[in-house]
Structure formats: C-alpha cells, structure tokens
C-alpha cells in the first residue's frame, strides 16, 4: 500500500473568521457544504454522503481558528485540518486545508476540495 502524503491548499474566502468557523466546526454548519448529513455524539462526527457513512474524531479545535479531524478508519498519521487564516495587514480571510492522500490520488482529492469549498463559498454568499 503506497504511503499517504500531506498536502495543503488555500482558498480566499470573504467571511469573518467567526462565521466561517461555525461552518467548519458545527454539525449543522458542516452539513450545509461538506456532507449530506452530519451527526455529532461522544466526540465523534458521523459524516454521510449518499448513504455512506464515515466517522471522524475532532482531535483539535481552536475557536475561530482551526479544526482538525481524524478519520477513525484511516492511517494513524493522517488527518484533515481546516484553518482560518487572517492576514494581519489586509484582514483578508483564507481557508487553509491540510489533508492526506496517496500521491496518485492527490489531484483528485484537491478537485473534491475545490468543489466543496466552492459550495461553502456559495452557502456563505461570499
């Protein structure tokens, strides 16, 4: 099995960090753009896409700043993180995504993120 590699992509988002963070951390916020349905119980988020469920644990959260999830069935070193980055001079807000995929799957993963984030931007009306 080929090893997964870490990759990071950044998107400019016209939103306040506080509003954006709600869409990254709250089940009802995530359900509006990231998955069809999101449930949260006992520190475990259950994401549903087309009747397929995946469970992730929230392993790190900094209010209005970042969330890091770990898929329960993934390799120990793998996670996905969404970080709100604000430029101190311009106050521009960006969303930085860190994820893991095998080398040959990275382009496809990036495409999936591109689509998800486009959806998030439309939901935010940004």
CATH number of 42's domain = 3.30.530.20
Mean pLDDT across the stretch 92-112?
97
pLDDT at 124 over 80: yes
d(CA 69, CA 71): 7
pLDDT at 98 over 80: yes
- Give pLDDT tens digits for 21-70: 999 999 999 999 999 999 999 889 999 999 899 999 999 999 999 999 99
Q: How many domains does the chain have?
A: 1
Helix and strand numbers, DSSP H then E, in the chain: 3, 7
- Give pLDDT tens digits for 67-93: 999 999 998 899 999 999 999 999 999
Tell if the pTM clears 0.85, that is, is over it. yes
Tokens of 14: 């016209």
Range of the domain at 76: 4-124
Rg (CA), the chain: 14
d(CA 61, CA 74): 19
């Amino acid at each position: 099995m080929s090893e997964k590699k870490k990759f990071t992509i950044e998107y400019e988002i016209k939103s306040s960090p506080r509003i954006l963070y709600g869409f990254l951390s709250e089940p009802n916020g995530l359900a509006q753009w990231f998955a069809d349905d999101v449930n949260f119980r006992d520190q475990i988020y259950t994401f549903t896409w087309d009747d397929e469920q995946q469970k992730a644990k929230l392993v790190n959260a900094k209010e209005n700043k970042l969330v890091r999830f770990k898929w329960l069935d993934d390799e120990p070193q793998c996670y996905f993180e969404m970080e709100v980055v604000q430029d101190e001079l311009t106050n521009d807000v960006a969303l930085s995504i860190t994820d893991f995929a095998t080398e040959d799957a990275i382009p496809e993963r990036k495409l999936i993120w591109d689509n998800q984030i486009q959806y998030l931007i439309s939901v935010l009306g940004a």
